[in-house]
Every structure is written in structure tokens, then in C-alpha cells.
Amino acid sequence: DTGVSQDPRHKITKRGQNVTFRCDPISEHNRLYWYRQTLGQGPEFLTYFQNEAQLEKSRLLSDRFSAERPKGSFSTLEIQRTEQGDSAMYLCASSLDRLGYTFGSGTRLTVV
Amino acid sequence: QKEVEQDPGPLSVPEGAIVSLNCTYSNSAFQYFMWYRQYSRKGPELLMYTYSSGNKEDGRFTAQVDKSSKYISLFIRDSQPSDSATYLCAMTNNNDMRFGAGTRLTVKP
């Protein structure tokens, strides 16, 4: 297993466009998390899946954001009608328990 | 006031120095305390975690938690240039982990 994979690594999009990111977790991990990190800040929690069920969502996750994890495998995070404030690193992590997170290298989004 | 406060540094030390990194927090419900290391353009990597108050040692790294003071520390002994990175404290009591802003450390040869 090569760890948590995220695709794409970088995405530049125009304001108002929709973007979708993909995360492939470690295969035996049933927990999957999305975080957002801006420059000079720590990651901020967005949402959490256990298998295919989305169990928690942060208040940061506006209705322009949606995440899915069909069949409890890979996950996608979609941002609709992107805004400049959405520019950030989007990190995915997976784990077997609430502590042993393995993070991917992230998708860096730039909204111009 | 942020839930987790961490001095962003930057911190620069000579090789071989003892490094002390610290965080304070306000939510007394936190029970699990973690330290992550993050290299540039990479995701955070878990270094170690502790449950409740006390010390935990792993090689050159020692984590301390003082729940009465809401204060956690990470000590790095015999620091190496390869330790140069951003160190993030994190804590949780459920499924969403709260991170500090990170301290940028440079160890000079």
C-alpha cells in the first residue's frame, strides 16, 4: 500500500467554476477525513466518513461543498461556484481509529 | 481566542540543541494530544500521541501533557537538520481534531 493518494496535486480554477478532488485512502482504513489548510495555519476539520456514511460535518462546510464516499472506498470533495476564499490546501486523511491518521499530500487549490 | 494556541516561530537552533515546542488550549474536554510534523508541500505526519496527562518518550522525542494547566509540549533532543519542518500540535475528544497553527523549526548544521 502506498499510503493516502490525492488527485490532482494542484488545481487552478476561475472563480465561479466547480472543482472536484479525489482521495484514495489506505485500503483497510474505514475512517476518512477531509481537512483544509491555509498558509501559516493548521488544518481545519471539514468532514468525516466511517465507511460510506458521512457522520460529521463542520460548520465551515458551506452548502457549496459536498463530499461523498461511495461504497466506503475512495472519496470525492466537490466545491461549487468557487470563490477566492476557497484557495487552500485540501488534505485527506484515513485511519482505523480516531488517532492514527495518515494524511495524503493534499490538493492545492488556487482560485483566480 | 483560538481553541488551540501555538507560537508560530520561526525557531532556529544549532544542530544538537534541545528544542522545546509548546501549545496551550482552552477546551478541557480534549483527552488525546498529538504532535505532527509537516514538511513543505506535504501532508502532516503523526509523530506521537498521548492520552490525558503525563509524559511519553519515543527516541529523541518526548511529549508532555499537563491537563491542569491546559499545556502540552514536545521536546526534541540532539536535534538534526532533518528535523527542520513545521510541527503541529493537535488534540481531540471525538472525531474532529483541532490543530495549532504550527511552529516552523530550522536546525542549522
What integer pLDDT is reported at residue A88 of this predicted model? 97
Q: Which residues of chain A have a CB within 8 Å of the CB of B24?
A: none
Average pLDDT over residues A103-111: 97
Q: Which amino acid is at A95?
A: S
What integer pLDDT is reported at residue B68 of this predicted model? 92
What integer pLDDT is reported at residue B71 of this predicted model? 94
Average pLDDT over residues B48-59: 89
- Contact A77/A62 with Cβ under 8 angstroms? no
Q: Which residues of chain A have a CB within 8 Å of the CB of B44?
A: 43, 91, 101, 103
Average pLDDT over residues A47-52: 93
Strand boundaries in A1-112, DSSP class E: 5-7, 10-13, 19-24, 31-37, 44-50, 53-57, 65-68, 75-79, 88-95, 102-103, 107-111
Instruction: Look at B96 and A15; give whichever has higher pLDDT.
Output: A15
Are A103 and B45 within 8 A, CB to CB? yes
Task: Cell numbers for B83, please give them.
Answer: 528535523
Q: How many whole angstroms separate alpha carbon B94 and alpha carbon B86?
A: 25
pLDDT above 80 for B54 = yes
Average pLDDT over residues B37-45: 93
Cross-strand partners of A13: A111
